[in-house]
Amino acid sequence: MHYPFTRKRRLRTSAAIRNLSQEHHLTVNDLIWPVFILDGFNRSEAITSMPGVQRMSVDLLLDKLIPLHEQGLNAIALFPVVDEGHKSDDAAEAWNPEGLVQKSVKTIKSALPELMVITDVALDPYTSHGQDGIINEQGDILNDVTIKALVMQALSHARAGADVVAPSDMMDGRIGVIREALESKKHHNTSILAYSAKYASVFYGPFRDAVGSAGNLGKSSKATYQMNPANALEAIDEIAMDLDEGADLVMVKPGMPYLDIIKTAKEHFNVPICAYQVSGEYAMLQSAIDNGFLEEKKAILEALLCFKRAGTDAILTYYADRVTEWLSQ
């Protein structure tokens, strides 16, 4: 058919027909809310580089979570803000059974047993040097030594009741060893969300401010273990390896600058593909909103819909609380 018999604008003539012909939809089931947790009670701190986002003690977090869960929010991801006194070269606080994450998981699951709690398995919040791994005297990341620490951390999270452990460190081989450890300790139902395609990105800056690792990391780089932003095919290798080792879900991080990676991953693998709308993406979008350059609701929803169009099954976004309220109205 040719013009005028075929007119694509016919499917755009009204809101009703636009809705009917819409290919992708954003729902509350697509959202995972990343939250920064503090030790103590009745504590909250604003994050300068992430306007509108706060670090919170778990009691204040629950005050927000309970109504959000009632509105349909199904999942959160916990990121600890660790006091300097608990940081060390070997990151031993990461697997403390009475540590911040472990206590928080127990508290949240006790109050909201149906809420999916995802925990970050990585050492950078706990290391005195801010790296995701244990280092030698020359500053090299010791891959296999780090894996042993990650296993202890993951097991401590599973024992506390985490539904999903999410290794975000990018050490080679860690998914298989963690999966084996979980199985051997009978945590058969603890899922693994592997940060499989995590790039050495500049867009993580505000996150490192939020968890307090920026100062420890200083001018050091994570380029020896996180992926080169120039590489795409390598991401497919990384995802395939993690799935072969026992990952249940995989992550592409950052999000919007890497929509091509998300699309390619979805075409290759029949597993849930998650994406992280990272702190730098949030900071850019929120700055434009705060300056009046973009309309808040429309800009946020359009940005998140892009993830769905690319093939994402779940989105970690700091906007999950706002979007949950909007979608429930």
- Which residues participate in catalysis according to the annotation? 198, 253
Q: Are 65 and 108 in contact (CB under 8 A)?
A: yes
Q: Are 157 and 192 in contact (CB under 8 A)?
A: no
Could you tell me the two tokens for 140?
Answer: 């090299």
Task: Give the DSSP per-residue string, 110-146.
Answer: HH-TTSEEEEEE-STTTBTT--SS-B-TT--B-HHHH
What's the start-to-end Cα distance of the chain, in Å? 42
Phi, psi of 277 (to 5 degrees): -80, 95
Phi, psi of 272 (to 5 degrees): -60, 130
User: How far apart are the C-alpha atoms of 292 and 271, rounded to whole Å?
Assistant: 39
Q: Are 326 and 297 in contact (CB under 8 A)?
A: yes
Three-state DSSP state, 235: helix
User: How far apart are the C-alpha atoms of 197 and 255, rounded to whole Å?
Assistant: 10
Phi, psi of 167 (to 5 degrees): -65, 115
User: How far apart are the C-alpha atoms of 49 and 57, rounded to whole Å?
Assistant: 19
DSSP 228: P
Element (H, E) at 51: none
Region of 162 please: left (phi>0), alpha (psi -120 to 50) or beta: beta
